[in-house]
Chains A and B, each alone.
Chain A
Amino acid sequence: MDQVPAGPGPVPGAGILSIAEIAEIVSEALDDERLQDIWIRGEITGYKPHQSGHYYFSLSEDLNGRTYVIGCIMWQNRGQSLDFDFKNGLAVIAFGNVQFHGPNGKLSFLVREIRSAGVGEKHLLVERWKRELEAEGLFAVERKKPLPLFPSRVGVATSRTGAVLQDIINIISRRYPLEIVLSPTAVQGDTAHLEIASAICALDGCVDVIIVGRGGGSFEDLFPFNHPDVVRAIAGCRTPVISAVGHETDFVLADFAADRRAPTPSSAAELAVPDQAELARDVKSSLDRLKLALDKRVQDAMDIIVDLKVRLHPRRIEKRINENRLNVAEFEEDLERAFLGKLGAFRGELARVQALLEGRSPLTILSRGYSIIEKDNEVIRSARELHPEDRVRLRMADGSVKTRVEEVCIDKEI
């Protein structure tokens, strides 16, 4: 008979689980939203650099006299972009998942994001401010003012001693020397945001454009430029503001409220003033174009005059006169033709009248054999005028005859 322990207790049966099965169940149990994609806070302990570059450490917390610990893993690629000195004893906040690793039977926190607690909380604060200020409309594109093309005074709100001011002075003196008004302010520290805000306000209205800047630094160094006091001071300016905080890759909330963001203080200076040499070239080219345009205009006018002169040339006038002469000659011809026509008609008429007249001429009558009797040089028309023995003349076509009347016979009463 088998020796079976006496008494009550668990009895192994068909339900015996393998370790892998246990690991599976634990993993499933951990797949809980309260343990996934979460921020946790703790102090780094047990960290020593690993050959692989991956980070193996613990986050711990002391509470009510007891220490709670969770093992953490962070892959090497995440560690490359850390912006703080990763070391034991540092309070951090970490983002990631709780997971169970079967092969070594350990529960750990896989870190995807880690921030130094102070800084980390500031990051979260900046994110909150950003949402709030954005909701207030301080970052709206419609608020952006254009930069003046030709400022005469440039205001600079920055540290009196930093490289920023020197960079700006250098660029502006090289491009377009003009008046730079410095509004000195601390650019880092716990109260810097108050100083920066009032330095900006002191410049507003006194200058044509304002540059707010500081050099590169850590997130915490640049932190005052995220503060709502500074953001509101910039947004409230009547004068256009250029922000130039940190390096090109650094963004602060002041950048979103500014009318322009410059990647560096030097480029802010370039945005603020035009380039004198370029302007001089512009002006020179304007002069050239003016001269060219005037020359062209004068040349055009001369061309017009030459053209008019040609059109007014004497030969043209002569030609015009000849044309008129021809017209006159033609007219004369017409007139003559008309006159001759009329004359012909007159002549015809005349001949006809002449013929008529000739028919009546006494000579014509005489040539037909008639004769005219005259007594005492008067034409005798009646036999009663004559008496026997009257001397009369007979006028004929080709001569006359003197004769004496023998007898008068009166034929009838006329």
Chain B
Amino acid sequence: MLGELKDVVKKMEDPDTGLDESIALYERGAALIRECERQLAEAELKVTEVTEK
């Protein structure tokens, strides 16, 4: 997801990207950022033990 975000940013910074596309990219990027932040915020430690099959 971070990889896609980096791609979006790179495309956004490309001067050849049109305005309409830029706006779409921004929306996509903002959604990705929200998702990344959500995942980061929701991370919590859990320790389990492997169960023999």
Contact = CB atoms under 8 A, between A and B. Distances in A.
Interface of A: 149-150, 155, 169, 172-173, 176-184, 199, 202-203, 206, 276, 279-280, 282-283, 286-287, 289-291, 293-294, 297-298, 300-301
- Please name the 6 residue pairs, one residue from A and one from B, whose CB atoms are nearest each other, closest first: A177-B45, A293-B12, A183-B50, A297-B22, A173-B45, A290-B29
Contacts of A173: 45
- The dominant DSSP class at the B interface is helix
Contact of A293 (B5, B9, B37, B52): B9
A269 to B, nearest CB: 12
A179 B37 contact: no
Contacts of B1: 150
A177 B9 contact: no
Contacts of B2: 149-150, 279, 282-283
Contacts, number: 95
Contacts of B47: 169, 179-180, 182
Contacts of B25: 290
Contact of A279 (B13, B23, B40, B44): B40
Given A289-B12, A301-B19, A178 B29 contact: no
Interface residues of B, number: 31
B12 A178 contact: no
Given A286-B5, A290-B12, A294-B22, A180 B48 contact: yes
A294 B13 CA distance: 8
Nearest to B45: A177
Contacts of B23: 294
B49 to A, nearest CB: 5
Contact of A290 (B9, B50, B53): B9
Given A155-B50, A202-B50, A279-B2, 11 more contacts: A177-B45, A181-B50, A182-B47, A280-B40, A283-B2, A286-B9, A290-B12, A293-B13, A293-B22, A298-B19, A300-B15
A183 B47 CA distance: 11
